[in-house]
C-alpha cells in the first residue's frame, strides 16, 4: 500500500450533489478530494441525460444535465477540489484513531477525517456481454474499455455496440486493424450523426463489415479467442474469425461495495438523520439519492440542502471547540476571501 | 414507493430493464417480470429501458393497471432473481402491442 493521502474531507461521487458538497465545505474552509468511478464529473446528469432539460433547479428555469454540471464546476472553482476520477471506492473503514481509510480500485488510499457519500445509485460500470464462459477472456481478448489502442493495430477485431463509443473506435481502427467488424443488435445507431454516416461510408467501401445480430457463441484455442457466432433476429448464424472483441454496451450503475461498509442500510440506501445527514458511523455523511430518511424525495435540490447541513455538521465535528458563524456570501468579507471575489462596494 | 411492471411485459419479457437495475430487484416468472417492492430504491433508471413502456412509478400506474401493484408484490417473493438480460420470448414481437392480456400471465 502506498502511504495514504491525508484529507479533511473526501467526497465519494462527483454528481451534482457531490460537486455542491465541495462548495458548501469550501465556504467553511474545508478542502475536499472527490472520487468517482466515471472518467468525467457529473454522475447521472452526464451519463444518463447530458442533453435532457432539468426544470426544477431553483432559480434556473431550465438547464441540461451538462449545463448544470458545468455551472457547478464553475461555482466550486475557487475551492480547487482534487478529483480522482475513473476509480471506484472499494474499501471504507473507520480506524482506531477515528479517521476513515478509503481504498479505490486503482489502489489509491486516503485517510480522511470526514467522508461524504454522494454515490447516487452506485458506481457506473460497463454492461457485460451475456455469454457463458466469456468472463475468462476479459482483459485478455475481450475488452470493455480501450486503455492501449496500439495493442489492436494489425489485429482482427470485432466491436459490439450501437453508441458513440463503439462508433468512435470503429472509425479509429478502420485503417489500423487487420479487419474491423461492427456488431449491433439493431440496424439503428445512437451516435453522433456524422459518425454514423462515416461508418456507413466505410461499410459501403468494404473497409469494415457491419453485422446486425447478437453474439451467441464463441470458439477458443487455449487462451485465444478464434471465432464468434453472430445470430440475427431470424435465427441465421454467421461465424466471424477474430483476435480481439471490444464491447461497448454502455454503462449502468451498481450499488456495489457500499453495502459492505458496515453502515446502517434500509432498502440499500444509507440511513441518515435530518440534522447532520450523518450515517450510523460518526464522521461519515450521506447526501443525495444514496440516503434515506422519513419524507426523503430524490431531487437534486434536496441533495443541495443535505450537502449544506452536512458541511456545517462536519465543520463542528472537525473543530468541536470552534463556534461556526453562519455567514452570507452577499456580505461576508471572510466568504469573499474564500471565494476569491472583491468585497461588494455600495454607492 | 416502488416501481411496478405492468401488463405490456406479459409474453414479451424483453429483460433490458434488469441490466440497469443498481440493486438487482427484478424477479422472473415464466412470461413476465416483476419488481420486488422491498428492494426497489425508486431510482427510475429502468423506466426508459423497457421497449414496451411497461414500467411505472407506483404513484403513476395507470388506472386500468392498478392490479399490477399488488401482483408485483405478491409474485416477487417466490420468483427468482434475474440480473442479466437474455433473449426476449420468441413471440414477443407478436404480443408487445396486445392489450388486456392479463389472462395470459403464467404464475
User: Which cell is A6 given?
Assistant: 491525508
Is 60 exceeded by the pLDDT of residue A69? yes
Interface of A with B in 247-266 (CB under 8 A): 249, 252-255
Confidence of residue B84 (pLDDT cuts 50, 70, 90): confident
Interface test with B, best of A51, A121, A130, A265 (most B CBs within 10 A): A121
Residues 6 or more apart whose CB falls under 8 angstroms from that of B24 comprise B18, B39, B81, B83
Mean pLDDT of the region A49-62: 93
Domains of chain A: 5-124+252-339 (3.50.50.60), 128-249 (3.50.50.60)
Residues 6 or more apart whose CB falls under 8 angstroms from that of B31 comprise B10, B11, B13, B89, B104, B105, B106
- Residue A75's pLDDT is what? 98
CB contact A43 to B (< 8 Å): no
Across the interface, whether the CB atoms of A255 and B23 are under 8 A apart is answered: yes
Is 80 exceeded by the pLDDT of residue B53? yes
pLDDT digits (tens, 9 = 90+) for A72-118: 999 999 999 999 999 999 999 999 999 999 999 999 999 999 999 99
Strand partners, A221: A224
Q: Are B34 and B46 in contact (CB under 8 A)?
A: no
Mean pLDDT of the region A43-59: 91
Mean pLDDT of the region B29-46: 93
Residues in chain A closer than 8 A to B39 (CB atoms): 267-268
Domains of chain B: 3-79 (3.30.70.20)
A–B interface: beta-carbon pairs under 8 A: 40
Across the interface, whether the CB atoms of A252 and B45 are under 8 A apart is answered: yes
Closest partner residue to B84 (CB to CB) among A130, A254, A267 is A130
Confidence of residue A292 (pLDDT cuts 50, 70, 90): very high
User: Which cell is A237 given?
Assistant: 448464424
- Residue A149's pLDDT is what? 95
Confidence of residue A1 (pLDDT cuts 50, 70, 90): low
- Residue A152's pLDDT is what? 97
Higher-confidence position of A344 and A25: A25
pLDDT digits (tens, 9 = 90+) for A171-229: 999 999 999 999 998 899 988 999 999 999 999 999 999 999 999 999 999 889 999 99
Chain A: give the shortest CA distance to residue B43, in Å: 7
User: What average pLDDT does chain A have?
Assistant: 94
For A157, the enclosing helix (H) or strand (E) is strand A156-160
- Residue A162's pLDDT is what? 94
pLDDT digits (tens, 9 = 90+) for B8-32: 999 999 999 998 898 899 999 999 9
Dihedrals phi, psi of A184, to nearest 5 degrees: -140, 145
Closest residue in chain B to residue A289, using alpha carbons only? B43
Mean pLDDT of the region A117-125: 93
Confidence of residue A268 (pLDDT cuts 50, 70, 90): confident
Q: Taking the model in full, what pTM does it have?
A: 0.85
Q: Are A339 and A329 in contact (CB under 8 A)?
A: yes
- Residue B56's pLDDT is what? 96
Rounded to a whole number of angstroms, the distance between the first and last alpha carbons of chain B is: 24
- Residue A50's pLDDT is what? 87
Q: Are B12 and B95 in contact (CB under 8 A)?
A: yes
Confidence of residue B33 (pLDDT cuts 50, 70, 90): very high
Mean pLDDT of the region A299-327: 96
Across the interface, whether the CB atoms of A128 and B84 are under 8 A apart is answered: yes
Confidence of residue A347 (pLDDT cuts 50, 70, 90): low
Chain B: give the shortest CA distance to residue A54, in Å: 15
Give me the residue label for grid cell 449545463: A67
ipTM of the modeled complex:
0.75
Higher-confidence position of A188 and A14: A14
- Residue A342's pLDDT is what? 83
- Residue A346's pLDDT is what? 62
Q: What is the C-alpha to C-alpha distance for residues A21 and A36, in angstroms, rounded to an integer?
A: 14
Q: Give just the sign of the alpha carbon dihedral A127, A83, B44, A284.
A: positive
Residues 6 or more apart whose CB falls under 8 angstroms from that of A230 comprise A183, A211, A213, A214, A215, A216, A237, A238, A239, A240
Chain B: give the shortest CA distance to residue A33, in Å: 25
For residue A111, count CB atoms less than 10 angstroms from its CB and return exposed for 0-12, middle for 13-18, buried for 19 or more. middle
Across the interface, whether the CB atoms of B22 and A121 are under 8 A apart is answered: yes
Mean pLDDT of the region A50-61: 93
3-state SS track over chain B: CCEEECHHHCCCCCCHHHHHCCCCCEEECCCCEEECCCCCCCCCCCHHHCCCCCEEEHHHCCHHHCHHHHHHHHHCCCCEECCCCCCCCCCHHHHCCCCCCHHHCCC
Is 70 exceeded by the pLDDT of residue B103? yes
Dihedrals phi, psi of A27, to nearest 5 degrees: -60, -30
Interface test with B, best of A130, A257, A297 (most B CBs within 10 A): A130
Amino acid at each position: 500500500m502506498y502511504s495514504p493521502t491525508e484529507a479533511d474531507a473526501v467526497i465519494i461521487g462527483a454528481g451534482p450533489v457531490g460537486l455542491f458538497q465541495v462548495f458548501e465545505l469550501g465556504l467553511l474552509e474545508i478542502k475536499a478530494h472527490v472520487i468517482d468511478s466515471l472518467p468525467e464529473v457529473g454522475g447521472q446528469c452526464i451519463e444518463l441525460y447530458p442533453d435532457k432539460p432539468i426544470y426544477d433547479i431553483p432559480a434556473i428555469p431550465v438547464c441540461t444535465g451538462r449545463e448544470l454540471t458545468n455551472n457547478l464546476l464553475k461555482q466550486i472553482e475557487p475551492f480547487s477540489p482534487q478529483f480522482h476520477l475513473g476509480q471506484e471506492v472499494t474499501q471504507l473503514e473507520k480506524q482506531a484513531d477515528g479517521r476513515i481509510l478509503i481504498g479505490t480500485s486503482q489502489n489509491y488510499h486516503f485517510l480522511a477525517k470526514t467522508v461524504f457519500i454522494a454515490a447516487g445509485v452506485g458506481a457506473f460500470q460497463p454492461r457485460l456481454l451475456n455469454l457463458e464462459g466469456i468472463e475468462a477472456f476479459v482483459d485478455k481478448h475481450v475488452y470493455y474499455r480501450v486503455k492501449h489502442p496500439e495493442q489492436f493495430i494489425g489485429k482482427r477485431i470485432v466491436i459490439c455496440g450501437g453508441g458513440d463509443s463503439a462508433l468512435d473506435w470503429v472509425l479509429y481502427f478502420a485503417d489500423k486493424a487487420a479487419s474491423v467488424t461492427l456488431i449491433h443488435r439493431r440496424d439503428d445507431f445512437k451516435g453522433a450523426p456524422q459518425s454514423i454516416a462515416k461508418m456507413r461510408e466505410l461499410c459501403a467501401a468494404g473497409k469494415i463489415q457491419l453485422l446486425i445480430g447478437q453474439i451467441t457463441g464463441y470458439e477458443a484455442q487455449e487462451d485465444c479467442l478464434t471465432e464468434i457466432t453472430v445470430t440475427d433476429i431470424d435465427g441465421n448464424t454467421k461465424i466471424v474469425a477474430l483476435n480481439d472483441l471490444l464491447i461497448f454496451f454502455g454503462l449502468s450503475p451498481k450499488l456495489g461495495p457500499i453495502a459492505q461498509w458496515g453502515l446502517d442500510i434500509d432498502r440499500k440506501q444509507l440511513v441518515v438523520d435530518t440534522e447532520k445527514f450523518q450515517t450510523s458511523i460518526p464522521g461519515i455523511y450521506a447526501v443525495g439519492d444514496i440516503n434515506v430518511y422519513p419524507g426523503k424525495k430524490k431531487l437534486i435540490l434536496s441533495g443541495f440542502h443535505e450537502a449544506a447541513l452536512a458541511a456545517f455538521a462536519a465543520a463542528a465535528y472537525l473543530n468541536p471547540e470552534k463556534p461556526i458563524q453562519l455567514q452570507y456570501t452577499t456580505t461576508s468579507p471572510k466568504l469573499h476571501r474564500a471565494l476569491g471575489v472583491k468585497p461588494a462596494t455600495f454607492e | 414507493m416502488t416501481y411496478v411492471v405492468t401488463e405490456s411485459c406479459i409474453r414479451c419479457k424483453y429483460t433490458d430493464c434488469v441490466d440497469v437495475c443498481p440493486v438487482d430487484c427484478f424477479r422472473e416468472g415464466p412470461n413476465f417480470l416483476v419488481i420486488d417492492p422491498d428492494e426497489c430504491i425508486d431510482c427510475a433508471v429502468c423506466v426508459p429501458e423497457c421497449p414496451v413502456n411497461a414500467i411505472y412509478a407506483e404513484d403513476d400506474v395507470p388506472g386500468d393497471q392498478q392490479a399490477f401493484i399488488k401482483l408485483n408484490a405478491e409474485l416477487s417473493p417466490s420468483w427468482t432473481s434475474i440480473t442479466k438480460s437474455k433473449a426476449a420470448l420468441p413471440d414477443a414481437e407478436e404480443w408487445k402491442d396486445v392489450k388486456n392480456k392479463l389472462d395470459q400471465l403464467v404464475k
